[in-house]
């Protein structure tokens, strides 16, 4: 390791101690008798002060270095009430670790805003913006807290394949792939695989996998490759799954609040752990109609409806019992009214971030559901057969990582929340 300490590890108690820091030159300000250099690492920014009389002339000269240079700084910690964080570094040696040999394509301090497309073309520069860094530190917390929450509840993590021989949900919008001599596709969802794991006795499983949808839409809240956080629970029904979804969201957000305080500040976000309301679809539609929204029973929610749900019901709303016909064929119908299904969407801050259902686990019922959609049960034979071999009741859901991150960080464009997004037009870097 080049450094002895991260910036955030330096405290007033270390007054007069020698340290070695390493990071990027965030800013340099040359005054007549003093040069200030702001050094930035993943944990924060600290002031390095080169002052005639206190520092060697050569060292002060070595502080005259282009912004975004990668350097190490040996120096002494000094309490200085005038410095932003109460102390500064008096440098004894500054080393340019890898001199810059290309014009940095845009400003990272935010003084001159850059277009999103430019930032995405140069993500290795964009990640140095405090806002971008904050987004991905928060995403890391989301991933970590999702997994640990479930792991501590006895779930096993599984991995399934992203290469499939057929469309998993009978849909279009697949990316075709040449797999040696065979035609194959990128998986739209690990749905059938996680059901196989549950039927195989793994009981409660989760996974985080990329999924692919070849939709031609090019809007602010869809990507063609997304990261899906998937859950499936055996010997369970929609009540268990709905409660787990609520609890998981609330845990993730409480962890972001706890661990990413400074990142939320950088983004200007005041984040609170939501109390999720659970409301049936029919009731939601009734209220939206009363409020003058254009919606009829049987409609799927549009973006406008989702925003109205936040307005009229609150920050986190679990809408349950959707009409069967707008849901995937394997959703379990309500036993008292087969027009409704034990399915649910979680609308967080006015956007759907999760979707799920209790699944049909009775083979003959599944065949009927397939036929009712006008599909051929023969195309689903191996899937249906699994339900004839001792399949327990089960339910599940998935959360879209980038959408959840978008809603937590207050971003308006989902591309901000994928490090290397894939959309209708973007395939690199």
Q: Which residues are annotated as a binding site?
A: 169, 213-215, 352, 355, 359, 400-403
Residue among 412, 422, 391, 404 nearest 194 (CA): 391
Give residues 120-139 in contact with a copy of itself (rule: CB under 8 A).
123-128, 132-133, 136-137, 139
Give least dist CB 371 to a copy of itself, A: 17
Q: Is 78 in the site for a copy of itself (CB under 8 A)?
A: no
364-403 mask for a copy of itself (x: CB under 8 A)?
A: ------------------x--xxxxxxxxx-------x--
Residues whose CB falls within 8 Å of the CB of residue 14, separated by 6 or more in sequence, listed in order: 77, 87
User: Is residue 243 within 8 Å of 352, Cβ to Cβ?
Assistant: no
Task: Kindly identify the residues of this chain, within the stretch 329-358, that bind a copy of itself according to CB under 8 A.
Answer: none
Taking CB under 8 A as the criterion, which residues in 7-46 touch a copy of itself?
22-25, 40-42
Strands (E), 110-242: 156-157, 163-164, 176-179, 182-186, 204-212, 225-234
Helix (H, G, I), strand (E, B), or coil: what is residue 184?
A: strand
Please say which residue, 86 or 105, places its beta carbon nearer to a copy of itself: 105
- Shortest Cβ 362–a copy of itself spacing (Å): 6
Question: Beta strand pairing status for 316-320 and 277-280?
Answer: parallel
Burial of 21 (0-12, 13-18, 19+ CB in 10 A): buried
Please, which residue, 76 or 177, has the CB nearer to a copy of itself?
Answer: 177
CA distance 319 to 281: 6
Q: Which is nearer to a copy of itself, 200 or 350 (CB)?
A: 200
The rounded distance, in Å, linking the Cα atoms of 176 and 389 is: 32
For residue 171, give the H/E element and its range: none
Site for a copy of itself in 197-226 (CB under 8 A): 197, 199-204, 209-210, 212, 214, 216, 224-225
Residue 196 interacting with a copy of itself (CB under 8 A): yes
234 to 263: interface string for a copy of itself, x by CB under 8 A: -xx---x-----------------------
Do 23 and 44 contact (CB within 8 A), yes or no?
no
**Residue 140 contacts a copy of itself per CB under 8 A:** yes
Closest distance to a copy of itself from the beta carbon of 175 (Å): 6
Q: Read off the DSSP letter of residue 52.
A: B
User: Would you state the structure tokens that stand for residue 221, as one six-digit string?
Assistant: 């809240």
């Amino acid at each position: 390791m080049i450094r002895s300490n991260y910036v955030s590890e330096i405290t007033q108690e270390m007054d007069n101690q020698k340290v070695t820091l390493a990071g990027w030159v965030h800013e340099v300000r040359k005054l007549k008798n003093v040069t200030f250099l702001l050094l930035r690492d993943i944990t924060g920014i600290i002031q390095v002060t080169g002052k005639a009389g206190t520092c060697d002339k050569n060292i002060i000269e070595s502080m005259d270095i282009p912004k975004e240079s990668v350097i190490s700084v040996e120096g002494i910690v000094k309490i200085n009430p005038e410095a932003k964080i109460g102390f500064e570094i008096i440098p004894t040696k500054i080393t340019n670790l890898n001199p810059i040999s290309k014009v940095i394509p845009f400003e990272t301090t935010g003084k001159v805003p850059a277009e999103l497309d430019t930032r995405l073309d140069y993500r290795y520069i964009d990640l140095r913006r405090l806002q971008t860094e904050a987004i991905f530190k928060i995403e890391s917390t989301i991933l970590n807290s999702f997994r640990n929450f479930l792991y501590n509840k006895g779930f096993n993590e599984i991995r399934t394949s992203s290469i499939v021989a057929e469309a998993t949900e009978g849909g279009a919008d697949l990316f075709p792939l040449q797999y040696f001599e065979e035609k194959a596709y990128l998986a739209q969802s690990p749905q059938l695989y996680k059901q196989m794991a549950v039927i195989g006795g793994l009981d409660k499983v989760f996974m985080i996998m990329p999924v692919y949808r070849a939709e031609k839409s090019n809007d602010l809240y869809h990507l063609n490759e997304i990261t899906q956080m998937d859950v499936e629970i055996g010997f369970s029904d929609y009540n268990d799954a709905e409660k787990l979804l609520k609890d998981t969201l609330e845990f993730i957000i409480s962890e972001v609040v706890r661990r990413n305080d400074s990142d939320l500040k950088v983004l200007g976000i005041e984040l609170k752990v939501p109390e999720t309301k659970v409301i049936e679809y029919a009731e939601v539609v009734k209220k939206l109609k009363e409020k003058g929204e254009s919606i009829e029973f049987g409609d799927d929610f549009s973006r406008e409806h989702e925003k109205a749900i936040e307005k009229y019901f609150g920050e986190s709303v679990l809408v349950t019992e959707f009409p069967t016909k707008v849901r995937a064929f394997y959703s379990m119908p309500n036993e008292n009214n087969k027009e409704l299904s034990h399915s649910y969407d979680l609308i967080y801050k006015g956007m759907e971030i999760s979707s799920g259902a209790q699944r049909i686990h009775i083979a003959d019922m599944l065949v009927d559901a397939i036929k009712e959609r006008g599909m051929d049960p023969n195309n689903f034979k191996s899937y249906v057969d699994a339900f004839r071999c001792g399949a327990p009741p089960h339910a599940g859901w998935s959360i879209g990582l980038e959408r959840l991150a978008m809603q937590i960080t207050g971003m308006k464009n989902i591309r901000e929340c994928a490090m290397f997004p894939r959309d209708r037009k973007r395939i690199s870097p």
